Structure 1
Amino acid sequence: MVDTDRGGFFRKFKLPVLRLYILKEILSPFLVALSFFTMIYMAVAIQKMIGLFVGKGIDFFRLLDYMGYVFGNTLPMTIPMACLMSGIMAAGRLSGDSEITAMRASGVSFPFIYSNFLIFGFVTTLIVAYLNFYLGPENTRKMKEFDNWIATYNPLLAIQPGQFSGDKTQDLFAEKGRTMYSGGVDSNGNLSKVQIREWQISASGTDYIVLNNLMVPMGGSRVLQIINANEGLLVEKKNAKGEYEKSIRLKKGFVIEWNPETESINITNFMNGEMDYNVPSKKEVKTLGINVKPDTFSLPMLLEIRAAIESEGLEKIPGLEMLNEMGMSIKGVDGLAQIVEKLKFEILMGAQSGGGQDDLTQKFAIFSQLSELLNESKKTLTAFNIEVHKRFATPLSCQIFFFLSFPLGLVVKRSGKGMSFTLAVVFLLVYYLFFIFGTGISYKANVPDWLGPWSANIVISAISGYIMMTRTDAKLPESIRRHLGFYFRFRNWWETKFEAVKNRFPRKK
């Protein structure tokens, strides 16, 4: 018994030696390129983490969890890069050492050699598809939960120096809102140049909105309190209930308070003292708005929510369950648009007939909320459609990059690894320029949702096909060549004219 006879039943599944050799030739540069690109992305993430979290008392293992989420979200971006790099380097090495020539001279067909690159690309496509469909959204969701936990654990970490942070939007029926400004936060968590503003929205006021010559009262708002301090520090202490709560200990400042009852201003000076400002805890409230991010859902859930927004029912969307409590069932964007138009017509008719002011105000409030929900639903539906296309376009880019890398590697030949790296960077730049720019354009109203995510793949596929047809002996099927006959006739005519012009200028010896 010789060695090739060993293996029993599994011997039939053993890869041919030549195929295994080519796959190993691709695997080595793939792992190197994947490590290189992943380390670059992770280095940027680690630098950001050091600036935000290190020295703030956060548990080290929580930081490791966060790094795991970042790593999981990085792989779908770096694997396609590694595919292009490894394919060019492997094909260039095999061609440069004349191994492909030796294989062809031994009777090995061009499709057999090329199929190994496509097999490797198919495997990486499946890996990236799994990451995009399931693991990536889970990592994104956990990263957002980590950010929310940070805001609860240490609210100062959420402060961006030089910017106001706090209640960006006022919740429905909420009476107060707060914003906070800081000039900066040092490594010990000390704030500088702190200003905290507390404002109030009331039903009574002089603010109006004019709709078709109808003045609708919208209430008013006023700043109730401004706290200004030169220094601040987050502290934790027990309240009257014996529970620990977080406060900001402010020093060297003053407080300006507006008393709505007496319409007077009170000023408290603590330039030579300090005061504690209790950080209000965020309570979960139900609002009539879509608060879903498409990048946090797995593919099945993504398709389900998209169908709910499109036609099945807005009340099925996470965050809009209160529509069920209100007894409303809205059949997607079109159904919501019909309700908004109906309310608009009722408001106009009521204004012309001199209806009750309170009834008009209430209807206009509902009309404003549903109009905002309609605009938000359209934007969210577009975002979900684009996300669905991105989930499929990104994995397929791995296959396209291997389709491109083999003919590029043959072109490089003995130019060296430097040329391989340069070509890979150029095509990656072209790909991501089309991908990012196209995705941004897809959010416009008159642009198809699929155009942006797929534009990069279409461009790279066209370049790949051209290089394959012109730089290798690969031929298109005869049926396709007949449909593209005009192209081949034009190419032959152009080459003939070019040769004729070139022959008029003989080279000097």
Structure 2
Amino acid sequence: MKILDRYLLKELVPPFLIGLFVFTFLLVIDKIFDLVDLIINKGVPVHLVLLLLTYILPAFLVLTIPIGFLLAILVAFGRLSGDMEIVALKASGVSPLRLLRPVLVFATATALVTAWLMMEAVPRSNYAFKSLIYDILRTQAAVGIKERVFNDAFGSFIIYVDELAPDQIALQHVFVSDERKPDELRVITAREGRLLNDDVNHRVTLRLL
């Protein structure tokens, strides 16, 4: 790699990394509050929440890598133009096409990484994210229900159970308060209930009998 190529790449990489970090952080910050809620209010271990965070990063990087690349081009060539370095390079016989060579190399690298993220990393991380959420919900459903207590760890649902089987699956004398619509409060009672795990669709269902 020639000196000019290295010089231009050094101009591109720092603003690219800064832009990548800033834009990714702006997208992640919206999810951080939900993840912190899992720790504080749901009692989910910190290491599981951090694992969830790593699973959602690839989907954000697909968006922020191209934005970071565009920012790097604008900042790098804006500085070179402002300092008259491009004029000096042209005066020394360097053609505009020659200046584009390291840019094309950098663009190809970012495009390949983005394509790999879209085709490989994002589908796998999305599946891993859903699987981990399902495991957390399944654990919370089993551990979060206690006998003769109004259990409010299920969002807009409050569940009261008179008796809980040792396997924490079978429930006796179930009371459910559905508060999803404050103006339409629903109360459901059942003699029996069961917690059913759907490993295919990654859902935990309370079936009332």
Specify if TM > 0.5. Answer: yes
Which consecutive unaligned segments of at least 5 residues does structure 2 have?
143-150, 178-185, 202-209
Q: Contact 1:235–1:246 at 8 Å: present in 2 too? A: no
- 1:244 equivalent to 2:168? Answer yes
1:26 is matched with which residue: 9, 12, 16? 12
Report the equivalent of 1:189: 153
Q: Contact 2:12–2:76 at 8 Å: present in 1 too? A: yes
**2-structure distance, mates of 1:236, 1:95:** 75
Residue 284 of structure 1 and its aligned partner are, at CA, apart by 6.0
2:86 is matched with which residue: 89, 93, 100? 100
Residue 277 of structure 1 and its aligned partner are, at CA, apart by 6.0
Q: Contact 2:15–2:71 at 8 Å: present in 1 too? A: yes
**1-structure distance, mates of 2:167, 2:11:** 62
Report the equivalent of 2:139: 153
Report the equivalent of 1:494: none
Which consecutive unaligned segments of at least 5 residues does structure 1 have?
1-14, 157-185, 195-230, 258-275, 286-290, 292-509
1:109 is matched with which residue: 87, 95, 104? 95
Paired residue type of 1:144: K
Aligned residues: 184
- 1:282 equivalent to 2:209? Answer no
**2-structure distance, mates of 1:235, 1:44:** 39
Q: Residue 17 and residue 254 in structure 1: after superposition, are their counterparts in 2 closer, same or farther (change >3 A)?
A: closer
- 1:56 equivalent to 2:42? Answer yes
**1-structure distance, mates of 2:193, 2:46:** 27
Q: Contact 2:52–2:132 at 8 Å: present in 1 too? A: yes
2:118 is matched with which residue: 132, 135, 139? 132
SS of equivalent to 1:46: helix
Residue 117 of structure 1 and its aligned partner are, at CA, apart by 1.3
Paired residue type of 1:148: Y
Map 1:260-275 onto structure 2 (within 5 A): none
**1-structure distance, mates of 2:119, 2:98:** 31
Residue 62 of structure 1 and its aligned partner are, at CA, apart by 1.1
Q: Contact 1:191–1:233 at 8 Å: present in 2 too? A: no
Q: Contact 1:79–1:128 at 8 Å: present in 2 too? A: yes
SS of equivalent to 1:107: coil
Report the equivalent of 2:182: none
Q: Contact 1:25–1:90 at 8 Å: present in 2 too? A: yes
- 1:232 equivalent to 2:159? Answer yes
SS of equivalent to 1:108: coil
Structure 2 length normalisation: TM-score? 0.74
> For the pair shown, which has the larger CA radius of gyration, 1 or 2?
1
Structure 1 length normalisation: TM-score? 0.32
Map 1:417-436 onto structure 2 (within 5 A): none
